[in-house]
Amino acid sequence: MPEKKKKKVAKKTCPQCGSTNVVYNRQSRDLVCNDCGLISPVE
Ligand SMILES: [Zn+2]
C-alpha cells in the first residue's frame, strides 16, 4: 500500500486564523501570515 510521508509541519498554518497563506521569512526566521498579519517566530 502507498505510504504517505507525513511531516509534523508539512504545511504551515497560521496559529491564529488557521490560514495556510503564510510565508517563511528566512532573514528573521519568522512565519508571516498574509491573511491576518500574524508574525510567529520559528524555532
Ligand atoms: Zn493568520
CATH number at residue 35: 2.20.25.10
24 C-beta neighbours (distance < 10 Å), count: 11
How many domains does the chain divide into?
1
**Does residue 8 register a pLDDT over 60?**
no
pTM above 0.85, yes or no: no
Quick check: is 5 in a domain?
no
Centroid of ligand 1 to alpha carbon of 6 (angstroms): 23
Residue 16, domain extent: 11-43
Instruction: Name the residue among 8, 4, 5 with its Cα closest to residue 43.
Output: 8
Query: Residue 22: is it exposed, middle or buried by C-beta count within 10 angstroms (0-12/13-18/19+)?
Result: buried
Quick check: is 3 in a domain?
no
Centroid of ligand 1 to alpha carbon of 2 (angstroms): 33
Centroid of ligand 1 to alpha carbon of 4 (angstroms): 27
The whole-number average pLDDT for the span 18-22 is 95
